[in-house]
Amino acid sequence: MTKKLLRALGGEVMDVPPAWMMRQAGRYLPEYRETRAKAGDFLSLCYNPELAAEVTLQPIRRFGFDGAILFADILLVPQALGADLWFVTGEGPRLSPIETPEGVAALKPADAVHDTLSPIYETVRILSRELPDDVALIGFAGAPWTVATYMIAGRGTPDQGPAHAFKEAHRPAFDALMERITEATIEYLSAQVDAGAEVVKIFDSWAGSLKGDDFLRYSQEPAARITAALKERHSGIPVIAFPREAGERYVGFHNATGADCVALDNSVDPEWAAANVQVSGCVQGNLAPGHMVTGGQALVDEVRRIRDAFSGGPHVFNLGHGITPDADPDNVTLMLETLRG
């Protein structure tokens, strides 16, 4: 029997959609905090295949999700291309920033990423052995634009200002950077699929800050290239694209990229998305993560509203962005009981 998540990605309409959650392995779970403490810091956890597989499995055991997302981070690719990377507790990621065209020229070639990322492939191999038969294994990477915003600024930024400024000041170097990340991402995701990932997701968390032609050139087109390369190498492997906060540019994204599923953030109205985006293929989303903190009747009502809005087409239930550390695990249980009940 084909796994439920893969059936939805293939276009099947179901009474109860498959469900998983962005950042489902994370600090809101006491068992995650315990394993992370054992590993030391966050990056040591990412590069420890046994422990990374363990934290991937924890939310599957506790909640019975239909999908398990590999535990890693989108910023491992910049590190594998030669950036220094560290995480400051309570603040977030830091990288050695790319401030000049010379910084782009100094990056390693795309096929060098395997030297650094091979422990991640081992995590995938462990998971494909240990996951329950009905749970699909999701690999992932950051989209080139989102990864570039961190590489240029050296940290997360509210408006991606440094990346936009670099793009305007050094267009050829910016294009070379996008090209290098795109090639590295194809290498990385392809190796995840070889190791056992059954679907891959491309996270373009900052797609919403690209306007006009820039959106087409730096979000849509790289997603199309990565999707086409993976499908060609891996006989049509399903792809989920997440151009977060794309707004009305979610319309047509399936067809423009070849993605099997388009993930919607929680700023998108589900009724609107059913009529304008789901008509082109499977959609994923899009409960606001805040409901995992506040719970109650509002959570129940919103789960039902989203499920009903998307009930006429293929749908994967998820949040519109990652669950936050202050979320209550009981609200995750309530979300799934409401969805499945």
Active site positions, annotated: 23, 27, 36, 73, 150
24 labelled ligand-binding: yes
Q: Which of residues 3-22 bind ligand CP3 (CB under 6 A)?
A: 22
Q: Which of 9, 57, 60, 69 binds ligand CP3 (CB under 6 A)?
A: 69
The rounded distance, in Å, linking the Cα atoms of 155 and 144 is 15
Site for ligand CP3 contains 74 (CB under 6 A): yes
Nearest to ligand CP3 by Cβ — which residue? 205
26 is in an annotated binding site: yes
Minimum CB separation of residue 147 from ligand CP3 in Å reads 9
Contact in structure between 319 and 266 (CB atoms under 8 Å): yes
Does 75 bind ligand CP3 (CB under 6 A)? Our answer is yes
C-alpha Rg value of the chain to the nearest Å: 19
**23 forms part of the interface with ligand CP3 (CB under 6 A):** yes
Pairing mode, strands 85-88 and 92-95: antiparallel
The answer to whether the annotation marks 23 as part of a ligand binding site is yes
C-beta pairs of 190-195 under 8 Å, 24+ apart in sequence: 190/229, 190/230, 190/233, 190/234, 191/114, 191/117, 191/121, 192/70, 192/120, 192/121, 192/124, 192/139, 193/139, 193/230, 193/233, 193/234, 193/237, 194/121, 195/121, 195/122, 195/124, 195/125, 195/128
Residue 190 among known ligand-binding residues = no
| Residue of 17, 67, 78, 93 that binds ligand CP3 (CB under 6 A) | 93
Across the strands, what pairs with 316?
Answer: 284
Helix ranges restricted to H, 196-323: 213-215, 221-233, 253-257, 270-276, 291-294, 296-309
Type of residue numbered 110 = A
Length of the chain: 341
Number of chain residues interacting with ligand CP3 (CB under 6 A): 22
Q: Which of the 8 DSSP states describes residue 323?
A: P
Binding residue (CB under 6 A) for ligand CP3 from 47, 65, 121, 140: 140
CA separation, residue 247 to residues 57, 87, 148, 265, 303 (Å): 33, 31, 21, 9, 21
Mark 226-265 with x for binding to ligand CP3 (rule: CB under 6 A) and - for no binding.
----------------------------------------
Specify the DSSP class assigned to residue 268.
S
Output the smallest distance, CB 24 to ligand CP3, in A: 5
Q: Per-residue x/- marks for ligand CP3, 143-172, CB under 6 A? A: -------------x----------------
Would you say 26 or 313 has its CB closer to ligand CP3?
26
The binding site consists of 23-27, 73, 150, 205, 321
Instruction: Please report, as ranges, the residues that interact with ligand CP3 according to CB under 6 A.
Output: 22-27, 36, 42, 69, 71-75, 92-93, 140, 142, 156, 203, 205, 322
